[in-house]
Structure formats: C-alpha cells, structure tokens
Structure 1
Amino acid sequence: MASAAITLAADAPTLSSANTGFMLICSALVMLMTPGLAFFYGGMVRVKSTLNMLMMSFISLGIVTILWVLYGFSMAFGTDSGSIIGWNSDWVGLSNIGLTQLWDGYTIPIFVFLVFQLMFAIITPALISGALADRVKFTAWALFIALWATLVYFPVAHWVWGAGGWAFELGVIDFAGGTAVHINAGAAALGVILVIGKRVGFKKDPMRPHSLPLVMLGAGLLWFGWFGFNAGSWLGNDDGVGALMFVNTQVATAAAMLAWLIYEKIRHGAFTTLGAASGAVAGLVAITPSGGAVSPLGAIAVGAIAGLLCAMAVGLKYKLGYDDSLDVVGVHLVGGVVGSLLIGFFASGKGQSDVEGLFYGGGLTQFWKQCAGVFAVLAYSLIVSAILAFILDKTIGMRVSEDDEVAGIDQAEHAETAYDFSGAGGGAARTAAAPAPVAAAASKKVDA
C-alpha cells in the first residue's frame, strides 16, 4: 500500500477530484466487504449460530470505527516512534485536520485516506471471528476486538504501511494487506482457538453449512468489494499500477477457484459450491500482497498455488486437533503467507516498483525480506492474541456454557433466531390451529 512520502514544495501535488472520488468509491467497496464476510461466514455455520456469526462481523463496524477516530489512525499512521508505533496528537479525535489537507505526497485529502484505511481496520478483526463460531460470548468478543485492534492491528499497520515502520523501511512488499490483514487475522485466530478449545462435538457431530446460497452471496460480495480493497491501495489512478492490481485480482481469484475445485474433485470426487467460494477467497487473499508486483501470468501462478495449498491446509485441523470452525487459518493465514512469500519469486520489476524476484533475475533478496515481515507479524499476532484470550477467559470468561452452545448461541446471546417457521404451516396446520368458528366455516366450504 502506498504510504506517506516527503516531497519538495515545487513538486507538491494538488487535490485531484478524480482520485478523491475514486478513493471514496473504493472505501465504500471495502466497507461492503464486512457485511459480505458476515453472509459468507453466516451461511457456513449451523442454523442455531447464524445470527451470532453475522453479529460478530457487524459489531466490528461499530467498535473499530470509534477507536479509529479516537486514537487508531494516529497510532497507525502518525509520526513514527522507534519504527514500532506512530502518534500525532493533531489526529486524536480527527479534530485538527483540514478539509482539503492532503495526505503527504498524494492528491487525496487526509480524510479520504483515513476512511479508506478505517475499512481495512474494521474487516481485519471480523476475519478472526470465523474461527470462533458457535462458542464465544458476545461481550467477550466485543472486548477482544477493542483490545486486539489497539495492541495488534494498529501497531502492525504502522510496521507495514506507516512511514518509518520497520517493515516499510526494510522494503517488505504488502500492496494491500497480506501481512497486516490476512496473516495478522489468521495468526490471531490460531492463537485464540488454542486457548478457548474446541466446539462441543468437534469431529463427532456433523457441522455442515446451513445455507450454501448465503455462502455464495457472501463470496460474491467479497469478490466485488475486493477490487476496491486492492486497486484502491495505490491511492490513485494516474500511472496504471492500480489497473494492474485490478486485473491481477480477477486473474488470481479465477485461478485459485479452479485449482481448489480440481484438487477437490481429485481428492473427494466432487466440485462443491463451498469449494468454489473458498477457492475464490483464497485467491483474493494471496493476490492482496502481491498483485502490484507480479504480471498477470504471475497472478495465475500465485492464485493456482494458493488455491491448491489452501485446499490442502483446511484439512489440517482434523489431523492436528485445533478447531478452526470456518477455516480462517487454512485460508487467510496460509493464503496470506503464500501470497507474501511468492513475491520473492514472481515480482516482475514492472509494477509498483523495480524489485525483481528470483524468477526474474533478482535473486532471493526480496524473498528474505518477505520472510522477515511474514514471520514477525505471524509470531506477534499469535502470541498477543493468545495472551488476550487467556486473560479474558480467566476474568469474564470467553465461552458460553456447554448447554447454551448445544441449544444454540443465537438464543443464548441474542434472544433471536435466524429463521422463524412458526407461521409457515400448510392448510391442514392452519386449520388445526384456527379458532373453532374459523375451522367450522372452513368445514362448511369444503362440504359445499
């Protein structure tokens, strides 16, 4: 992702209404991804957990937005301190930012940049929720989001994208969030589930998706919104890099979906809709860090490799015994790692920078930089997330009771159900339930 840059006064950019409008549209597209994720996850759980799954994504829209205004933007993109964290007191509460004050080195206002980045901050903790389906108290989850965003997401965003952040200065390439979003969320998911344990009935009871059409709807919304997520991360549309990223997003996603389906057919004997949706998301994840650095042919390779490896990875939870409910680890962590590391092999030197990967004559220099970024973020997020989950579990408790989990977390936590079938009976049912005069009238009509 493009970040702040220092420019000479003579070269200072001026506000571009075209780029400003483009970035506002991209921001709206990224916002749509969080409801899309809610539908994607909501369809994958059992009926009794549908609303809880939707709410675990939606609540992030509320919590992270307020934190971002109060201090999150300042922590992520303020003046660097020790290459670890940022801070700018003028940005606290967003109270001292001019309407037309530009983001340094770019032609869009700071307000546009910060709202675009806000949407990334919102969806990242929402991604974690898929690993915790069926068993987490909603209050504990809401508090976890607030703590995790503050202690993990805001600092990591500064490392990767903030001017002065150590990964940014090292030259780690992350166009739109392979490390800061997907590895960050996937590692956090693994850390939390290792603390809170498995669902009741894991590996014993069937836990199939209750609504595959809902899953496909969510995947379609994610795919659509991801064009804003990726192409918008160049912060403008003047030099063609954003267009390259748009093309590569489509290409890699298609390749990953096909690779997943082929693996699934060979391994399990069928092309499933869940596999198509999951493969598409795996491709979107993998191209997120790499799409500005690779060619369209490279995007095919990135997508196909990610689709295959993520399809293989989702089965590891059964072998290793960790209960990643909706495959956040298998898709987002693995896909983010694959997409980030493959930059070291497929970077063409003709996209966002002149950096070349191994297959283009650049050696392994960039690969080792990518390794540093990938494994530092993975380790930090996993450890801090596990500590946060442990503290919450030992204080307010992270899990609902076993009885509530078995009966259904929707009723226990939200006093609602996703589907109300009480008025959906047929004629016989309605006649049986009708008051005596109504039933008698219906009988006379039948006799007539």
Structure 2
Amino acid sequence: MNTAPAPMPPAYDSGDTAWLLASTAMVLLMTPGLAFFYGGMVRTQHILMMIKMSFAALAFGTLVWWAIGYSLAFGPDVGGAGLIGNLDHVFMHDIGLTTLTGHIPTYVYSTFQMGFAIITVALISGSIADRATMKGWLVFVVLWLLIVYVPLAHWVFDQDGWIVKHLGALDFAGGLPVELNSGVAGLAVALVLRAPRDFARREERPNNVPLVVIGAGLLWFGWFGFNSGSALSDQGTASAAFINTQLGAAGAMVTWPLVEKWRTGTVTTMGVVSSAVAGMVAITPACGEVDTLGAVITGLVVGAVCAFAITLKYRFGVDDTLDVVGVHGVGGLVGLIMVGLFATARISGKKGLFHGGGWGLLGKQLVAIVCVMAFSFILTWIIAKAVDLAVGFRAKDEYESVPGTERERAYDFQTAERLGALVSGKAVTSDDELVRQITRLLRAREESK
C-alpha cells in the first residue's frame, strides 16, 4: 500500500533547495575536473596516478563525511567553545527526509559541504605529484579529513564555530578551510615527502596542455556553484558571488600573464589557466563580502602575487610540484586579506578598511589566517610523518623516473614503441624513453641532411 510522503515543514523553501541541489552537483564535478587539471600537468607515466588520487578522495571523502565527518563539523557544538561538533549525527543518525538546515533539507546541505571536504583534500595531491604511494594517500585522506579539515569546517562554516561566532572574521565560501588550508597542508606534506634528487634542475613539462584546459574549465564551472551556492539561497548575495567569481578570475588573467611576459618573454597557456584558478581562489572568501570593484582589484592583485609566488619553491627547495602552495595557499591568503580591506556593508553588513570600517575587520582576518595556518601545518606534518612511518607514504626514488608496474596507460603508445624498438634495436621501457628515442631519431635525420 502506497503512503503519501510526509509534508515538508513550513520553513522549507523549494526554490533555494533547487539552487543548492544544482550548486552541489557543480561542486562535486570540481574533483573530476581537478583530476584532469592535475593529470595533464604531470609527466605521462604519472597521469593515471594523479587521476586515481582525485577519485580516491571522492570515494573515501564521501564515506568519511557520511560516517562521522558531518556530525563533527555540523553537530551541536561541544562545550560552547566553537571548536568541534558532537557525535549526534554519526552515520547521519536522526536526519530524515524532512529534516531541515535552515530552510533546506539537511541531506542536501550535508552533500554540498561534502563536496568542499572532497575537493580540499584532493587539492593536496598536487603538492606530492609523482612521489606518493596510493596506500599512503588513502590513509592520509581519511586521517587528514577527520583531524584537520573537519575542525576547520566547524570553525568557519558552522554557526557556532569560533572564527565566525566568537572572532567575527569573514569567509564567505571557504578561503580558510579550503584554500588556505589546502595550500598550507600541501606545504607540510611536500616537506615530509621531500624533493626528488633532480628537483632543482628538472624541467616539469605538462604531458597534455589541452587536458589541463579542460580540467580548468570544469573547475571554473564548478566554482560558480561553490561560491554562489554558499549563499544557501537564490537571493541577492548569490548573484553578487556569481559575478564576483567571474570578475576575480578575469582580473587575475590580466596581471599573471603580464608578469610572465616580463619575466620570461612569453605568455604560456599554463600560465593563463593557472591565473584563472588563482583569481577564483582569492575571490572565494570575498565573493559575498565585496562589491564588483573589490572583486576586480582582488583578481588583479592575486594574479601578480601568485605569478611570483610559484617561483619561490625553487629558492627554498620545496617541491610543491603543481603549485598548490603558490596558488591555493598564497591565493587564499590574499583573498582573506582583501576581505579586511574591501568588505562593504552593502553586501555583508561589515565594512573593510577602505570602506570606513577601520582596522578591526582586517585584524580579525589576520588572526584567523595565523590560527588556521598554524593548526593546518602542524597537524598535517604530524599526520604525513606518521603515515610515512606506518605504511609508507613516499614512493621509492625509482618511481620518479620509471613508470609503475600497472598494466594500463593513459596513452596507447604500443605501436609506436614497437616501431621505435625496431628502428633502434633497443627495447622501450617507458613513455619518456619512447619520446627520447623518437627525438634522437628525428635529430639524427635532420643532421644527416
């Protein structure tokens, strides 16, 4: 016998729910987009490993969030200090079809926040591309989400979190727990896993620039849901976050290429797409707090700053392979500071320094930045070190130059390999070796003319 579904509570809003459902799907698409983005940036033999690391974050992040992560991040606050939630909602206990968070079903809100958790830990994989083991990564994902990400999500996203409730800092869509956190955590993990022997002289070339562009496009699309969905409604703030996201990306795409042209004499496709990502990173905490002029200025500033920041890894000898620290860490830092400078009462109700609000908000932003950086770096370093000692996190040195023993490859070079072996009389052991052999053959042909 069919029974009618239970009626929704009066507070339920179908329009806002529909918008958050769409935003959630967009946010969840960002991690497969990141898989393409990272996959195209690494050497050929590592592309599948990078893709699998992102999809592992999708699977394990989803289950961790469902089992305990959501409860610790958004359950009733323990002790009133705003540090962590309780275990009332483990395995989504006591949450039904008609349970609301505000005026949106809790199932929808929880899945939206799940997407944030997944993309944050997936971002860290870019700092250790080509030198991490999969078993170490899987253990790290689970531990890091529970020990580092979940408390930070409670601090910033929960209404009782100490950063938003007690400190009064502003972070509209996750500059602290997502962007700054992933960048600082990436730095800690990169230090634990150490740079390869030839890091200083090795030229990292993307294996597939169009794949990087496709990944960046998916990230760009998802970012509108990431930022605008954080308004939790389809009202004016969501529209401000929407246009500010576009303006921030556009601003960064002007200044980063200018810096690149000045430094190297050319503008690369990689620089262009990376600048768009940097712009959206910086506007994430500010998109619902600043007006359109503030968004443009944020983009212009972060494009120039991040273009320089990504070169610092060579000066300090830290192999942040795919520039997670330089783009997400530094970009998030810039965006959070811009909130303290350009927040306008017309959008957020609070004024930044340049809108007559004095130094108060900027000071709160700086306190939040320092606390999150210290918390993330220290705990991430401990987790990464423990994982390395317990199960092995850093791959053997040979993995950096010789492909793994997997039977699948990103590109089928089998026919070309046979041809290369036939011409040179030497077996081809990797895609890189194939490229070297073909290059030698072509060079010899040119020299013989």
Normalising by structure 1, we get a TM-score of: 0.89
The question of whether the paired residues in 1 share the 8 Å contact of 2:252 and 2:276 is answered with yes
Aligned twin of 2:16: 19
Structure 1 residues 311 and 426: CA distance shift in structure 2, 3 A: same
Q: 1:147 aligns with which of 143, 166, 172?
A: 143
The structural deviation recorded for 1:424 is: 5.8
- Tell me, what secondary structure is at the counterpart of 2:327? helix
The residue type paired with residue 99 of structure 1 is: L
- Tell me, what secondary structure is at the counterpart of 1:87? coil
Aligned twin of 1:421: 413
Aligned twin of 2:378: 383
The structural deviation recorded for 1:206 is: 2.2
Aligned twin of 2:433: none
Structure 1 residues 201 and 86: CA distance shift in structure 2, 3 A: same
Aligned twin of 1:193: 190
- Tell me, what secondary structure is at the counterpart of 2:367? helix
Aligned twin of 2:234: 237
The question of whether the paired residues in 2 share the 8 Å contact of 1:159 and 1:168 is answered with yes
Q: 1:282 aligns with which of 257, 278, 286?
A: 278
Aligned twin of 2:444: none
Q: 1:115 aligns with which of 96, 111, 117?
A: 111
Alpha-carbon distance in 1 for matches of 2:279, 2:377: 23
* Superposed counterparts of 1:126-137, under 5 Å: 126-137=122-133
The question of whether the paired residues in 2 share the 8 Å contact of 1:136 and 1:399 is answered with yes
Structure 1 residues 402 and 88: CA distance shift in structure 2, 3 A: closer
Aligned twin of 1:443: none
Alpha-carbon distance in 1 for matches of 2:323, 2:103: 39
Alpha-carbon distance in 1 for matches of 2:231, 2:153: 16
Aligned twin of 2:177: 180
Are residue 160 (structure 1) and residue 156 (structure 2) matched? Answer: yes
Q: 2:95 aligns with which of 94, 97, 117?
A: 97
Deviates more, 1:245-254 or 1:385-394: 385-394
Alpha-carbon distance in 1 for matches of 2:103, 2:202: 55
Alpha-carbon distance in 2 for matches of 1:405, 1:425: 21
Deviates more, 1:16-25 or 1:399-408: 399-408
String of CA shifts for 1:154-187, please: whole Å, max 9, x gaps: 0000011112211011111111110010111111
Alpha-carbon distance in 2 for matches of 1:159, 1:171: 11
Root-mean-square deviation (CA, aligned residues, Å) is 1.7
Alpha-carbon distance in 2 for matches of 1:368, 1:26: 32
Alpha-carbon distance in 2 for matches of 1:301, 1:114: 33
Q: 1:38 aligns with which of 35, 39, 42?
A: 35
The structural deviation recorded for 1:65 is: 0.6
Aligned length: 411
The residue type paired with residue 139 of structure 1 is: K
The question of whether the paired residues in 1 share the 8 Å contact of 2:200 and 2:317 is answered with no
Structure 1 residues 350 and 67: CA distance shift in structure 2, 3 A: same
The residue type paired with residue 94 of structure 1 is: M
Aligned twin of 1:372: 367
Are residue 56 (structure 1) and residue 53 (structure 2) matched? Answer: yes
- Tell me, what secondary structure is at the counterpart of 1:374? helix
Alpha-carbon distance in 2 for matches of 1:264, 1:165: 40
The structural deviation recorded for 1:373 is: 1.0
Alpha-carbon distance in 2 for matches of 1:427, 1:67: 48
- Tell me, what secondary structure is at the counterpart of 1:195? helix
Aligned twin of 1:83: 82
The question of whether the paired residues in 1 share the 8 Å contact of 2:130 and 2:399 is answered with no
Alpha-carbon distance in 1 for matches of 2:175, 2:203: 32
The question of whether the paired residues in 2 share the 8 Å contact of 1:134 and 1:199 is answered with no
Structure 1 residues 247 and 402: CA distance shift in structure 2, 3 A: same
Structure 1 residues 425 and 165: CA distance shift in structure 2, 3 A: closer
The structural deviation recorded for 1:427 is: 11
- Percent identity between the two aligned chains: 47
The structural deviation recorded for 1:429 is: 11
Aligned twin of 2:221: 224
The structural deviation recorded for 1:423 is: 3.8
String of CA shifts for 1:94-147, please: whole Å, max 9, x gaps: 1321212211xx321111110100000110000000000111111001100100
The residue type paired with residue 403 of structure 1 is: E
Alpha-carbon distance in 2 for matches of 1:427, 1:330: 41
The structural deviation recorded for 1:50 is: 0.5
| Runs of 5+ unmatched residues, structure 1 | 1-11, 431-448
The residue type paired with residue 406 of structure 1 is: S
Alpha-carbon distance in 1 for matches of 2:160, 2:420: 72
The question of whether the paired residues in 1 share the 8 Å contact of 2:83 and 2:151 is answered with yes
The question of whether the paired residues in 2 share the 8 Å contact of 1:200 and 1:406 is answered with no
Which consecutive segments of 4 or more residues in structure 1 shift more than 2 A? 423-430
Q: 2:295 aligns with which of 296, 299, 318?
A: 299
Alpha-carbon distance in 1 for matches of 2:312, 2:26: 33
Deviates more, 1:270-279 or 1:193-202: 193-202
* Superposed counterparts of 1:192-271, under 5 Å: 192-238=189-235, 240-271=236-267
* Superposed counterparts of 1:426-445, under 5 Å: none
- Tell me, what secondary structure is at the counterpart of 1:342? helix
Alpha-carbon distance in 1 for matches of 2:97, 2:305: 46
Alpha-carbon distance in 1 for matches of 2:259, 2:420: 48
Alpha-carbon distance in 1 for matches of 2:192, 2:421: 48
Alpha-carbon distance in 2 for matches of 1:359, 1:372: 19
- Tell me, what secondary structure is at the counterpart of 1:290? coil
Aligned twin of 1:442: none
The residue type paired with residue 95 of structure 2 is: I
Alpha-carbon distance in 2 for matches of 1:145, 1:427: 42
The structural deviation recorded for 1:204 is: 2.0
String of CA shifts for 1:34-56, please: whole Å, max 9, x gaps: 01111111111010110001111
Alpha-carbon distance in 1 for matches of 2:351, 2:226: 24
